[in-house]
Structure 1
Amino acid sequence: MTETVMILLKISIAVLIAGVGAGTSPSELTYLWRRPGLLFRSLAAMYLLVPAVAFGLVLIMPIERGVKAAMLVIAVSAGAPLLSRRLKKLNSQEYIFSLLITSSLVAIVVVPVWAASLAAYFDVTVDLSTSTVVLDIAKTILLPIMIGMAARAMFPASSARLSDRVLMIAGIVLVASAIALLVIHREHLAGLTWPGMLTLVMLILFALLIGQLLGGPNPDDRTALAIACATRHVGVALIVATEFAGVKTLVLVVAYFVTAFIVSSIYLTWRRR
């Protein structure tokens, strides 16, 4: 049952990202590259400051080893949010798409480095090779994006219309699969202590604040970066979490994403007022 849910999770992520690609144009790819200041702040927020906060929380909070492992996965799994359907209401589509592609490319190098550098401090052991990250990111992120963009190039009218439907269906499957995984392995959640839960929530709130502060003058860019920092990249997180023996780390990581989804939804509603 767990393997089936994992397959659904990965497929839904790939389809979701393909839907993003089908709803955007190639010209949006270089949006961030033409704005080095915003590019630097965005990457610094996701790849430096949020991991630094996670590191600090692990040092000061009395949390169990399983939560520390989940915190490591969350810390290194930076990337653009998979909340594209709702974020379409923001006037930052070029920024969001460019951030998705750019952060995925940066993850190929940064994720293994961060994992190796922080593993000892998070009291876990993880051997994550660059080749593994490259292959998995190519399959779950870059290839779906290219398929979506190719579909848009060949069928511009129909792909744009279908993009929203694809995002909606894939989003529902993703959320349903995540909840199913939590239900199947609820014993790992039952053993989660209050300090552990508090630490995960604190990371979400600090990440939202970091993105809000570094997103630049455009309010929609700040909102998008805040959600990107808080939700992290579920595709990259699954790649890292599967390197740990057992399912406890994976379950706690998924629990974080469900919580981040709820908190960021509240934040997004507040920001759109």
Structure 2
Amino acid sequence: MDAKALILLALQIAIAGTVFTYGLQATRDDLFYIFQRPGLLLRSLLAMLVIMPVLVGVCTYFLNLPQPAAVVLTALAISPVPPMLPKKQKKAGGVAPYGLGMLVVLALVSIASVPLSVMYFDWLFAMPHGIGPLAITNIVLKMIIAPLALGLFVARLMPRVSPRLVSPLRRFAAVLLLAGALVLLASTWRAIVSSTSLWTVLAIAAFVVVGLAVGHCLGGPSQEHASVLALSTASRHPAIALAISTANYPGEQFVSTLALYLLLCTLLVIPYVKWQRSRSSLAPTAP
């Protein structure tokens, strides 16, 4: 296993560990929060699984983007929300149960939606669809469903001990995630600088900004729901995006482009999170 594979493994462990801590704190009502609001559920799926893939498909079709950027953007557009997102959503004034419910719904829906979306891009760009439902199911089970279910089980089995596990485990996962991301950026910065064009930077930045705008509009009128959907639409699961990219183009290197996306996404969501946090005390509480 080479250094990059170890770094990606560390990132995956950190993400799974974060999801495990969500399971330690989640309740049954949290998990079913979004199912009790079918209109919000429909708008959420429309923003993430229909509007963004269509917009990215149209833009990629008409813009002459470098292949790594085009492939990564299409992969990001059809990947589900990353598990580290609910904490950001809470900072932005979002409803924590909605973020957790979105995580579960999108993880399950992605088993069918990702292969279908890959077929759409295959039809649009004659791109070979090299990843199927079994591969997506494997990723979703390992990184979302299994750690979340384990956290729920531990919380039920040890109700007094589990609350004390949350803080140290979340701190460990955050340190591991930050260290892995920094090492990944440090190991790929030369590739990012040498192979990244201005159009690639603009395209990735536009993906994040447009995702924030689409999610914010469709998540309203509740400010709490808007912030959750905005961050969910702009931020996507890097592991699934990398799996889609490498499955369809096994000879290409996409790690540096994904590292650039993670860097730009982290920087671009900060102003939105601060803006929403400043509005959260004035916004009406979600029903």
One of 255, 263, 272 as aligned partner of 1:267: 272
Q: Does the alignment pair 1:184 with 2:164?
A: no
User: Does the C-alpha gap of structure 1 residues 120 and 184 become closer, same or farther in structure 2, counting only changes over 3 Å?
Assistant: farther
Name the count of aligned residue pairs.
Answer: 273
Q: Does the alignment pair 1:44 with 2:46?
A: yes
Query: Superposition pairs for residues 115-264 of structure 1, below 5 Å?
Result: 115-119=118-122, 121=124, 124-190=127-193, 191-243=195-247, 244-246=249-251, 248-264=253-269
Q: Distance in 1 between matches of 2:155 and 2:99?
A: 18
Q: Distance in 1 between matches of 2:240 and 2:42?
A: 20
Q: Distance in 2 between matches of 1:169 and 1:247?
A: 33
Q: Distance in 2 between matches of 1:171 and 1:231?
A: 17
Matched residue of 2:214: which SS?
Answer: helix
| Letter paired with 1:117 | Y
Unaligned runs of 5+ in 2: 279-287
The structural deviation recorded for 1:269 is: 0.9
| Letter paired with 2:250 | A
- Deviation larger for 31-40 or 179-188: 179-188
| Letter paired with 1:140 | M
User: Does the C-alpha gap of structure 1 residues 196 and 86 become closer, same or farther in structure 2, counting only changes over 3 Å?
Assistant: closer
Q: Does the alignment pair 1:53 with 2:58?
A: no
Matched residue of 1:185: which SS?
Answer: helix
User: Does the C-alpha gap of structure 1 residues 76 and 272 become closer, same or farther in structure 2, counting only changes over 3 Å?
Assistant: same
User: Does the C-alpha gap of structure 1 residues 155 and 242 become closer, same or farther in structure 2, counting only changes over 3 Å?
Assistant: farther
User: Does the C-alpha gap of structure 1 residues 156 and 266 become closer, same or farther in structure 2, counting only changes over 3 Å?
Assistant: farther
One of 93, 96, 100 as aligned partner of 1:97: 100
| Residue identity (%) | 24
- Deviation larger for 233-242 or 219-228: 233-242
CA contact (8 A) 1:23 1:160 kept: yes
The structural deviation recorded for 1:248 is: 2.3
The higher radius of gyration belongs to 2
2:87 is matched with 85
| Deviations, residues 57-94 of structure 1 (Å, cap 9, x unaligned) | 21233311111111121111132552333433435011
Matched residue of 1:38: which SS?
Answer: helix
Let me know the Cα RMSD of the aligned residues: 2.0
TM-score (norm 1): 0.92
User: Does the C-alpha gap of structure 1 residues 80 and 216 become closer, same or farther in structure 2, counting only changes over 3 Å?
Assistant: farther
TM-score (norm 2): 0.88
CA contact (8 A) 2:94 2:223 kept: no
CA contact (8 A) 1:26 1:149 kept: no
Unaligned runs of 5+ in 1: none
